[in-house]
Amino acid sequence: MENFTYFNPTRIHFGKGQIKALATELPQAARVLLLAGGGSIRTNGVLQQVQRALGARVAVEFFGVEANPDFDTLMKAVEIVRREKLDWVLAVGGGSVADGAKFVAAAAPFSGDPWEILTSRGSVVKSALPLGVVLTLPGTGSEANIAAVISRRAIREKLAFLNPLVFPKFSILDPETTFTLPERQIANGVADAFTHVIEQYMTFPVHAAIQDRFAESVMQVLVEEGPKSVRNPKDYDSRANVVWAATWALNGVIGSGVPQDWASHTIGHELTALHGIDHARTLAVVVPSLLSVQRATKAAKLLQYGERVWGIREGSEASRIDAAIERTRSFYESLGLRTRLRDYDVKPGVAAEIAGKLKARGEVNFGERGDITPEVVERILTLAA
Amino acid sequence: MENFTYFNPTRIHFGKGQIKALATELPQAARVLLLAGGGSIRTNGVLQQVQRALGARVAVEFFGVEANPDFDTLMKAVEIVRREKLDWVLAVGGGSVADGAKFVAAAAPFSGDPWEILTSRGSVVKSALPLGVVLTLPGTGSEANIAAVISRRAIREKLAFLNPLVFPKFSILDPETTFTLPERQIANGVADAFTHVIEQYMTFPVHAAIQDRFAESVMQVLVEEGPKSVRNPKDYDSRANVVWAATWALNGVIGSGVPQDWASHTIGHELTALHGIDHARTLAVVVPSLLSVQRATKAAKLLQYGERVWGIREGSEASRIDAAIERTRSFYESLGLRTRLRDYDVKPGVAAEIAGKLKARGEVNFGERGDITPEVVERILTLAA
């Protein structure tokens, strides 16, 4: 096991009716920016529950945070925070809203150009407003970590930042608030969470037994409960397990003291940028293909995963690895996520195009061994055709 | 899954040489009480590493915290904190020292009689000094939770208190500092941690899939690595996995949103009080017997545990439950912990004696269903003869 520091101070209120915890989590004198997305919380009862819990507190509502939250949209929220002297940020929505809230919390007290928060990957952040999250869409794990991904459509950029100052002070996870989500969104959330585990687990063994078994646990729960929860959206137990699994997929625990990959995310982001494919769906395309191309260096973990998550115990090592990759592909497909570029009408030429873009930007030699070169990216995307 | 609130803000520095993190965790101006046990840290290099990291900070050393830390001993430390106006407590040792540090941190600023901290189970605690832990003996989980058990030999009491104010700000877990522990202590630690999981897991299912699988993961790691680590004390990877597993056995995660038992601890404490048997060894005696007596109400979890932790898949339900209990007993024995009262020269009369004591104190109807009456306690201890 490698040395590590683990820290996660977010308080989680989990379960039915937990939105009422807002009443004690927020100071009575808090002046709150309520950040939200497209407005579904107006019709599914969530906004009403939040308003009731906020009571007499000053709360300014800002709707319109989009999927892949945009810098320019969020800067309008920052202006409101500054003008109205708000001192708390409350995200009510999914991962995009939570990510947006982290940016607003860091940008509002920032004296320089807030875009530097992104270009510095968060290192310039020295203070942030306190923030809380009411999560209505599981998947990204943003409710209990220090990361946010922000897009700036005006200059075609999409950057991430990380800083412990934007840990949510609290997050409220009521699985019932997710019952009315479109099937596509919950399926994407399950696939996103599953892939977060793959990125931190499918590397090489370092005798990190707790991290390995917890990662396998999260994947097993997503495999058992994910497709079921997509089909039966109002099955509370199933959805609750999906929501809690998604938090653990990216709250720092399974990634502590182990090598990490994240190449599928890097490649997937390019597919979203070029073709507007949902983030989770790009991962469903890239992961099976990346595992095939990298099967030699990931062999030990692929075999362990095959056995422990899928019960694959028979046959040669090569055939067990084949089976593990095939089960991974089938899992994405069982959620309704197609796993080939042709399913999204993307032409094979994209392989060379993306490899070229990454090379031009100097994004080379990534993955847990630094061996994913532009040539490897091209092989991965060619195989994904 | 039941509703729950989960919160754990302790920062963990894990790995070789991590004691140096003290230099950044403690403020430069901190005035530190260094609390320790019997003195082994003087000879194994730990104290030297701590002193080097403390540098020029004011640090008063207080040695002599005993196993089952004593109220009167700790009150001497409280006096020193008050007299020297110390403002940080640093535990350097195992669970007893960490528990003691929690008490000192809460008692020093307390204006009433500090014994009330125990008799109120922690509810009177309104402030506490910040505390940190350098853990040199895994098992209790005290390094990352809000609980402490304090004895008061003068009046033959042993009470626990819990309060979020005594969460360690940080804990340093360097597995190498545990290499020189006596075999008996590491074996006890493994058994203690394993039993913490049993108490939170072996109840009845509530569709808490992450909690169940994490609990099973911790047990699997302790089963695979525990006996190995007892035999090969300087195998870093094995010991590191034991240390990290023990933290997760009692840091709040696997117990969130599920029923809990803790009857084995209640009964075990009485055996320690009457016969001075090591805490972990009382658990090794009580658990197999309690599982047998309660096999009907715990059947579903016993079967799941048998299959997932021990691979027991063949045979009738009754025989699979028998096998699961037998494997549990063998596991304690494999660590060197005997599992019968006669192994400790305790006469069968203890069953009626302890049942009578619990009844007299009104400690009746405990366990996850409140069905452990004094009569059940007597049956459990009779079976353990």
Which residue in chain A has the smallest CA separation from B214? A214
Q: Inspect the interface and report whether the beta carbons of A210 and B241 lie closer than 8 Å.
A: yes
Please write the tens of the pLDDT for every residue from B222-239: 999 999 999 999 999 999
Identify the band that residue B383 occupies on the pLDDT scale cut at 50, 70 and 90.
Answer: very high
| DSSP letters spanning B308-335 | HHH---SS-HHHHHHHHHHHHHHHHHHT
Chain A residues with CB-CB distance to B3 below 8 A: 14-18
The answer to whether the beta carbons of residues A215 and A254 sit under 8 Å apart is yes
Amino acid B257: pLDDT: 98
For A:215-254, CB contacts with B below 8 A are 216-218, 220-221, 224-225, 237, 240-241, 244-245, 248
Assigned CATH for B11-177:
3.40.50.1970
Contacts of A75-78 with CB under 8 Å at 24 or more apart are: A75/A107, A75/A114, A77/A33, A77/A35, A77/A104, A78/A104, A78/A107, A78/A108, A78/A114
Whole-model pTM: value is 0.97
Q: Mutate which of B1, B2, B20 to test chain A, going by most A C-beta atoms within 10 A?
A: B1
Q: How far is Cα B321 from Cα A301, in angstroms, rounded to an integer?
A: 32
The pLDDT of B271-292, averaged and rounded, is 95
Cβ-contact A10, A170 below 8 angstroms: yes
Report pLDDT for A232.
96
Instruction: Give the closest of A1, A4, A18 to B3, CB-based.
Output: A18
- B244–A1: do the CB atoms touch at under 8 Å? yes
Closest by CA to A139, choosing from A226, A220, A79, is: A226
Residues of A in contact with B220 (CB under 8 A): 209, 213
% of chain A with per-residue pLDDT over 70: 100
pLDDT number for residue B158: 85
The mean pLDDT value for B343-372 works out to 95
pLDDT at B342: 97
CB A246 within 8 A of CB B282: no
Which helix (H) or strand (E) segment holds residue A320: the answer is: helix A317-334
B13 inside 8 A of chain A by CB: yes
* pLDDT tens column, A56-107: 999 999 999 999 999 999 999 999 999 999 999 999 999 999 999 999 999 9
Helix-, strand-, coil-residue percentages of chain B, each rounded to 5: 55, 10, 35
CA-nearest residue to B236 within chain A is A1
Q: Across all residues in chain B, what is the average pLDDT? A: 97
From residue A173, give the alpha-carbon distance in Å to each of A99, A221, A225, A244. Answer: 16, 17, 17, 8
Q: Across chain A, which distance is largest between two alpha carbons, in Å?
A: 66
CATH of B183-383, one of 3.60.15.10, 1.20.1090.10, 1.10.3720.10, 3.90.1010.10: 1.20.1090.10
> Is it the case that residue A372 has pLDDT exceeding 90?
yes
Cα Rg, chain B, nearest whole Å: 21
- A183-383 shares the fold of A11-177: no
Instruction: Give me A143's structure tokens.
Output: 């409710």
pLDDT digits (tens, 9 = 90+) for A150-171: 999 998 888 899 999 999 999 9
- Contact check, Cβ <8 Å, A225/B209: yes
Most distant CA pair in chain B, distance? 66
The C-alpha of A286 sits at a distance from chain B's nearest C-alpha, in angstroms, of: 27
For chain B, say whether A14 makes contact (Cβ under 8 Å): yes
Residue A361: per-residue pLDDT: 87
Chain B residues touching residue A240 (CB < 8 angstroms): 1, 207
Domain ranges of chain A: 11-177, 183-383
Residues of B in contact with A221 (CB under 8 A): 209-210, 213
Tell whether the model's pLDDT for residue A297 goes beyond 90. Answer: yes
Is B15 within 8 Å of A3 when comparing Cβ atoms? yes
Element (H, E) at A147: strand A147-152
Check if the beta carbon of residue B203 is closer than 8 Å to that of residue B298.
yes
Task: List, in sequence order, every residue forming a beta bridge with B91; answer none if it has no partner.
Answer: B35, B133
Coil, strand or helix at B152: strand
pLDDT tens figures, A328-363: 999 999 999 999 999 999 999 999 999 999 999 898
Section B56-70 average pLDDT? 96
Which residues on B lie below 8 Å from A245 (Cβ)? Answer: 209-210
Are the CB atoms for B170 and B25 separated by under 8 Å?
Answer: yes
- Own/partner long-range contacts of B265-269 (Cβ < 8 Å, ≥24 apart): B265/B195, B265/B199, B266/B358, B266/B363, B266/B366, B266/B372, B267/B354, B267/B377, B267/B380, B267/B381, B269/B158
Residues in CB range of B24: below 8 A, 6 or more apart: none
